[in-house]
Structure 1
Amino acid sequence: MQKVFFISDHHFGHKAIIDFESRPFEDADAMNASMIESWNSVVGKNDKVFHLGDFSFLNREKTAHIVAQLNGYKHLILGNHDRGRSRSWWLDVGFDEVSEHPIIYKDFFFLTHEPMYMNKHMPFVNVHGHIHGQKYEGKNYFNVCVEHWDYKPLTFEQIRDSVVVSEEQ
């Protein structure tokens, strides 16, 4: 059975992110290798992954090499650092789908790179990235940045169940 996963902000090849976000890696190469391993430890070949932006700072060849190593059907929602490259560039490096705009998933989850304004009456949960180690308060936000989740994509069920539990509290 296919699982659906969510993750964001890998920043493959971005050496400075190690210091910016206190990532536990010696250098960008070690970070890249570890994040590929973490991804593949949970995502199977037939699973689907929504990457919510800021995927790679590397050139076309190196980015394609990383994408090829990652399990699953990969759907990229462009982040602020991805937008300097065209949608076709991202498809050429191996993403199966690329979205320039947010997506509503299962009529309830608003998938974006940057957190969107969500008042308490909004009928959605905003699954987002962009803010790395920070967190927005409230039941309408769910941050899937790699720093919060040991660099592993989260399943739809993990997010859904977390949202349901927080609503019951």
Structure 2
Amino acid sequence: MADVFFTSDHHFGDRSILDVESRPFPGVPEMNEVMVARWNETVTPEDRVYHLGDFSVLDQEETRRVVSRLNGYKILILGNHDREHGRTRSWWLDAGFQEAHETGLIYQNFFLLTHEPLYMNKHMPFVNVHGHIHGQKYADKQHFNVCVEHWNYRPVSFGEMRRILAGEIK
């Protein structure tokens, strides 16, 4: 049975992210290869992956090569870096994503999928699944950060996310 995964902020090809986020890789090629390997160790070809933005700074041909190597049906919600240099929804579809969205999505009528975290007051009955803030994390149950830095550079499954939110696992 297919599973659903969430992830964000891979920044494939981005040299500066190594320093900015203190990523544990000697260089960009090693970072890219480890992230592809960990994605494919986690996700099967039948699974669905929501990437919540900032996927790649590579040109379209190189980005297409990376996307084609990754397992699963891939859905991108554009992040701030995904829009740079005139990159549009159609650019990302041409790069190999099966779906690309300019704005966030609602998943199962309860989870708000966005790149940047949204303001959520304590009375809102939703969970904001987001990226963008990398190593930072909100201490409330209404935000769930899926940036690769929190998940050992792999996507996190919907089931695991729900168990964490329910307090069943830490």
TM-score band (shorter)? over 0.9
CA drift of 1:160 comes to 1.0
TM-score by length of 2: 0.96
Q: Give ranges in structure 1 of 5+ residues lacking alignment.
A: none
SS of alignment partner, residue 45 of structure 1: coil
Structure-2 residue corresponding to 1:123:
125
Question: How far, CA to CA, are the matches of 1:107 and 1:34 in structure 2?
Answer: 34
Q: How does 1:41-60 map to 2 (within 5 A)?
A: 41-60=41-60
Q: How many residues in Structure 1 have an aligned counterpart in Structure 2?
A: 166
Structure-1 residue corresponding to 2:38:
38
CA drift of 1:63 comes to 0.3
Question: How far, CA to CA, are the matches of 1:93 and 1:102 in structure 2?
Answer: 20
Structure-2 residue corresponding to 1:154:
156
Residues 107-143 of structure 1: CA deviation (Å, up to 9, x unaligned): 1111000000000011100000000000112110000
Q: Give the letter for the 1:74 counterpart.
A: K
Structure-2 residue corresponding to 1:9:
9
CA drift of 1:46 comes to 0.6
Q: How does 1:1-150 map to 2 (within 5 A)?
A: 1-84=1-84, 85-150=87-152
Question: How far, CA to CA, are the matches of 1:162 and 1:107 in structure 2?
Answer: 19
Q: Give the letter for the 1:20 counterpart.
A: V
Question: How far, CA to CA, are the matches of 1:100 and 1:59 in structure 2?
Answer: 19
RMSD after superposition: 0.8
SS of alignment partner, residue 115 of structure 1: coil
CA drift of 1:145 comes to 0.2
Question: How far, CA to CA, are the matches of 1:10 and 1:140 in structure 2?
Answer: 23
Question: How far, CA to CA, are the matches of 1:103 and 1:124 in structure 2?
Answer: 12
Q: Give ranges in structure 2 of 5+ residues lacking alignment.
A: none
Any runs of at least 4 consecutive aligned residues in structure 1 with deviations exceeding 2 A, and if so which?
none
SS of alignment partner, residue 82 of structure 1: helix
Aligned-pair identity in percent equals 61
Question: How far, CA to CA, are the matches of 1:123 and 1:161 in structure 2?
Answer: 17
TM-score by length of 1: 0.97
